[in-house]
């Protein structure tokens, strides 16, 4: 293969990580730049290009890049743009694929949001290898999702499908969500959701808990996890509550696309049995009888440090957008006969 590598780029709110990846999912080399250093997007792309060129040179990989895959918040697969990103210094519409392909001399580029990139990474290199129908759920600051149906990421008619963190799990009196509505899954089952549950439980309930030794506003999901692992009853109840809501929501997801597996990724997903036991119990109890026992709930097999770059890189193999140097159109316009 003359072009044996792809470039994976993960644009986060703080860092932009990029790596050279081979067809087996080995990250040959990676580096990063600061995302927010340049308020001008062209300057950012120029610095990204310089950084990548250095990395390619050092690894004897110049002219060996088949395509570039980019994961970024609010990136739209169809248009190649980042649209109205909440955490980036540019916008509102950033022609990401076009600018990057142009900077790299026309190498094909494809972009998608981070959760879809994670799903692609899992399908290409991770726990979903060989699966055609699965759902990737990322449990981080928020709850993200990437849905794969029949071997393809579900983008929807506008490119924004797969917002399962915003299924409404509490119809009445639900928590306010960052999306502007109330009761979303993300407001309960993200890392921040767990911290919110802790504050709620500590206020409403009266029993002792080691969490009461902390400043209530500073409690994190990690604090709750540590307390639960140490045997704190209230902390364990918080995970019971979180897992139950997640499991019930998973039952609705299965009614939609009947996936072979739901794959969990992100910090909270690594909570082990204190989350997974109530989650699986609620899921099996809630899922429609015809689906019972069919959908596995498993953990990502991607190394967390590599996952974002790997996921983005997987998109590089199917990248199609290619910047072409504009050429003068010499064709004679057809004249319709009267």
Interaction site with its own copies (CB under 8 A):
131-133, 147, 149-150, 152, 154-164, 166-171, 179-181, 248, 251-253, 255-260, 286, 288-291, 294
Distance CA 88, CA 164 (A): 23
Tell me which residue has tokens 């209230």.
234
> To which H or E segment does residue 192 belong?
helix 191-204
Token pair, residue 195, equals 């911290």
> For its own copies, which is the closer residue by CB, 8 or 142?
142
The candidate with the shortest Cα–Cα distance to 265, out of 133, 88, 142, is 142
Smallest separation (angstroms) from its own copies to the CB of 150: 6
Closest to its own copies by CB, 15 vs 286, is 286
CB-nearer residue toward its own copies: 47 or 252: 252
- Shortest Cβ distance from residue 217 to its own copies (Å)? 28
Nearest CB to its own copies, comparing residues 19 and 80: 80
Indicate the burial class of 47 (C-beta count within 10 angstroms; 0-12, 13-18, 19 or more): middle
Q: Closest approach of Cβ 114 to its own copies, in Å?
A: 15
The Cα 272–Cα 234 span in angstroms is: 17
Q: At its nearest, how many Å lie between its own copies and the CB of residue 260?
A: 4
Tokens of 48: 């990204």
Query: What's the min distance (Å) between Cβ of 258 and its own copies?
Result: 3
Of 56 and 153, the one with the shorter C-beta distance to its own copies is: 153
Residues 233, 209 contacting (CB under 8 angstroms): yes
For residues 134 and 232, give the distance between their C-alpha atoms in angstroms, rounded to a whole number: 35
């Amino acid at each position: 293969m003359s072009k044996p590598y792809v470039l994976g780029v993960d644009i986060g709110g703080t860092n932009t990580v990029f790596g050279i990846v081979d067809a087996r999912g080995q990250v040959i080399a990676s580096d990063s730049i600061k995302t927010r250093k340049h308020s001008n997007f062209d300057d950012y792309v120029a610095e990204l290009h310089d950084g990548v060129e250095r990395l390619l040179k050092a690894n004897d990989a110049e002219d060996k890049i088949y395509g570039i895959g980019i994961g970024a918040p609010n990136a739209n697969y169809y248009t190649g743009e980042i649209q109205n990103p909440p955490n980036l210094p540019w916008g509102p519409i950033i022609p990401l694929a076009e600018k990057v392909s142009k900077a790299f001399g026309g190498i094909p580029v494809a972009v998608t949001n981070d959760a879809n990139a994670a799903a692609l990474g899992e399908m290409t290199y991770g726990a979903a290898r060989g699966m055609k129908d699965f759902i990737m759920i990322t449990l981080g600051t928020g709850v993200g999702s990437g849905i794969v149906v029949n071997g393809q990421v579900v983008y929807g008619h506008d490119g924004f499908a797969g917002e399962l963190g915003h299924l409404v799990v509490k119809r009445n009196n639900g928590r306010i969500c960052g999306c502007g509505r109330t009761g979303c899954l993300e407001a309960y089952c993200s890392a921040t959701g767990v911290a919110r549950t802790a504050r709620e439980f500590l206020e409403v309930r009266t029993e002792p808990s080691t969490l009461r030794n902390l400043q209530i506003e500073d409690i994190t999901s990690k604090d709750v996890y540590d307390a639960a692992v140490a045997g704190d009853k209230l902390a364990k109840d918080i995970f019971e509550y979180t897992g139950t809501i997640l499991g019930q929501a998973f039952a609705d997801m299965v009614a939609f696309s009947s996936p072979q597996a739901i794959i969990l990724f992100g910090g909270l997903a690594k909570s082990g049995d204190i989350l997974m036991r109530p989650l699986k119990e609620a899921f099996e109890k809630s899922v429609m009888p015809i689906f019972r026992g069919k959908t596995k709930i498993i953990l990502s097999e991607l190394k967390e440090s590599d996952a974002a770059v790997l996921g983005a890189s997987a998109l590089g193999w199917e990248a199609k957008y290619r910047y072409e140097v504009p050429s003068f159109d010499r064709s004679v316009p057809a004249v319709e006969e009267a």
